Amino acid sequence: MKPMLKKDFFSAIENLLKAGFQPRFYTVNSGRIGLITFTDKNGTKQVEQVYSCTSLAANTFGKRFTTWLEEIFQKHNEEKVADSGFEVGSRVWDKLMYTLRTISEIRAGGGAGAG
């Protein structure tokens, strides 16, 4: 099997994220097979193979697809923060402390830091 092209991988993962799924990337058989997995709305685990390769190329492919997935997640989280309207200096209600807080930073994971 030829490895999934970067644009196809990005498209597949972005579509899953937009649909509300949480895709994960796994390797099996000592890294020679790469898989995307997610659980659909019916609770059924779905699996899609993105590559299979020789043991010599396994490390390279595993790193490549892991890096791509991290890049997609970063972009997705940045879009979620931008769409939320939160920005540094915004005031938000802290439900746990029953107080208003000012957002002091937007963390890399897409969460808002209050402080």
Q: What is the pLDDT of residue 110?
A: 43
Query: How many angstroms separate the Cα of 57 from the Cα of each of 45, 53, 64, 68?
Result: 27, 6, 11, 17
Beta bridge partners of 63: none
Q: In this structure, are residues 50 and 35 in contact, taking their beta carbons and an 8 Å threshold?
A: yes
Residues of the chain with pLDDT under 50: 110-115
Q: What is the pLDDT of residue 113?
A: 41
This prediction's pTM: 0.67
What is the C-alpha separation between 39 and 90, in angstroms, rounded?
Answer: 35
Q: What is the pLDDT of residue 108?
A: 61
Q: What is the pLDDT of residue 109?
A: 54
Name the DSSP letter for residue 110: S
